[in-house]
Amino acid sequence: MTDSITVETKPIASEPASHTPIIRVPRQRRVRRDRRTDILQTLAVLLEDPHCDRITTAQIAKKLDLSEAALYRSFSSKGAMFDGLIEFIESSLLDLFAQIRADEKLTNVAKIQVMTSVMLDFADANRGLTRVMTGQVLMKEDPKLTERMTRVIESLETGLRQAYREAVLAGELPADFNSSARASLVMNWVTGRWLRFVLTGFKTRPNGVSPVTLEPFFA
């Protein structure tokens, strides 16, 4: 998914705008790109229909004006296509986490705030992918895909936990602060926002919350 648009995310803390990380998400219009990316982009767009509970290879092929055989020359199965989307989700969010944690201009607590904001903004910008992130469209697919997505969420929680621990070591949080419990709480809240976004047909935006709502997570 090399073609992208830029979506800025705003940290909850009052950090300078220049420190705001950038999310790069797929552009929906058709452009020249490789066949695999074209297929994944089409699958992501089809998933944006909240009333479609299962995508078939026939739907993807029709959307691309290709034969199903042509699809299988790029991916061995529909499961491999979903795995490609999960890989994109994982690399995008973990890369952003790494950029945020490497930003020396942000306090450690501010980094956690921005990481949380990024996960919400990513979902808001990628409706179809959010249905994958919540596992909603994976229930009728290979169970290994749900396990794969679960591992991605666990990796994100690990990133939050490490950031909390760094905040404790820096003296920004009390020495007895429970980093594991707080990281779990934040991740559960984020996935809950993702799920509500999906269940409301994308009407309740995941990042439609005020900074005051999030303050308890970072104190």
Report DSSP letters for 179-217, one per residue: HHHHHHHHHHHHHHHHHHHHHTTT-S-TT---HHHHGGG
**Are 22 and 46 contacting, i.e. CB atoms less than 8 angstroms apart?**
no
Task: Give 117 or 32, the one with higher predicted confidence.
Answer: 117
The pLDDT value given to residue 216 = 80
**C-alpha span between 145 and 67 (Å, rounded):** 25
Tally of residues, the chain:
219
Among 7-16, 17-26, 115-124, name the one with the lowest average pLDDT.
7-16
pLDDT single digits (tens) 65-89: 999 999 999 999 999 999 999 999 9
- CA-based end-to-end distance of the chain: 37
The pLDDT value given to residue 218 = 75
193: Cα separation from own chain's centroid:
12
pTM across the whole model: 0.83
Mean pLDDT of 152-173: 97
Cβ-Cβ contacts under 8 Å for 49 (sequence gap 6 or more): none
The pLDDT value given to residue 54 = 87
The pLDDT value given to residue 33 = 56
From its phi and psi, is residue 11 left (phi > 0), alpha (psi between -120 and 50) or beta?
beta
6 phi, psi to nearest 5 deg: -105, 125
**C-alpha span between 63 and 43 (Å, rounded):** 9
**CATH architecture observed for domain 4-218:** Orthogonal Bundle (1.10)
Cβ-Cβ contacts under 8 Å for 166 (sequence gap 6 or more): 101, 108, 111
pLDDT at 207 over 80: yes
5: Cα separation from own chain's centroid:
15
pLDDT at 153 over 50: yes
Mean pLDDT of 148-159: 98
Among 81, 118, 76, 74, smallest CA distance to 97 is for 118
pLDDT single digits (tens) 178-199: 999 999 999 999 999 999 999 9
